[in-house]
Amino acid sequence: MVYEQKYDIAEGVKVEAGADGMVSISGEKGSVDRVFVHPHVKLSIGSDCVTASTESKRKMNKAVVGSWISHINNMAKGVTSGFVYNMKIVYTHFPMTASVNNGVVEIKNFLGAKGILKAKIVGDTGVKVGKEDVTVTGMDKEHVGQTAANIERACKVKGKDRRVFQDGIFFVSKE
């Protein structure tokens, strides 16, 4: 018995297999690469669909099949339309500012502190900072999500009551 799932390749998306399980998906916005290696799961790329399959009856291996198809779907969506995460800068007493410098988001005057908080930008992710909003964009969903998480985590209030000190940069929506 073989368990398999398929992803139908959309128009304008090109899927290529490389050495050692490397899969490259390219589209109008660029290309995204990822390695798919598992001892019990195989990935086959046809002209119109990508198939992940396993001959194992274990739920864990079947879950890997579904995860791989989800990753491929996200990669294809990223190279065609991209991912956008919207964040909001919130402060009450001390006007907080954010800026982008050399692959790092710098947050100044957080809760009136003199130090500069830093959040790393992962991969080829773009960050635009407005007066009260931050927009994180990119082709790789994991890099965009991790960059947004790094920005939110850099502004975590420590040692104070979160119900009173509600300052920070918070995730609002994604597109």
* pLDDT tens figures, 118-145: 999 999 999 999 999 999 999 999 999 9
Q: Using the predicted structure, report yes or no on whether residue 149 has a pLDDT greater than 90.
A: yes
List the domains of the chain with CATH numbers: 3-80 (3.90.930.12), 83-174 (3.90.930.12)
Query: Which residue, among 65, 79, 96, has the nearest Cα to 169 in the 3D structure?
Result: 96
Neighbours of 40 (CB within 10 A): 14
Q: Under 8 Å CB-to-CB from 148, ≥6 apart: which residues?
A: 85, 87, 136, 171
Averaged confidence pLDDT in the chain:
92
Q: Using the predicted structure, report yes or no on whether residue 1 has a pLDDT greater than 80.
A: no
Tell me, what's the pLDDT at 157?
A: 86
Neighbours of 90 (CB within 10 A): 14
Tell me, what's the pLDDT at 113?
A: 87
Q: Using the predicted structure, report yes or no on whether residue 94 has a pLDDT greater than 70.
A: yes
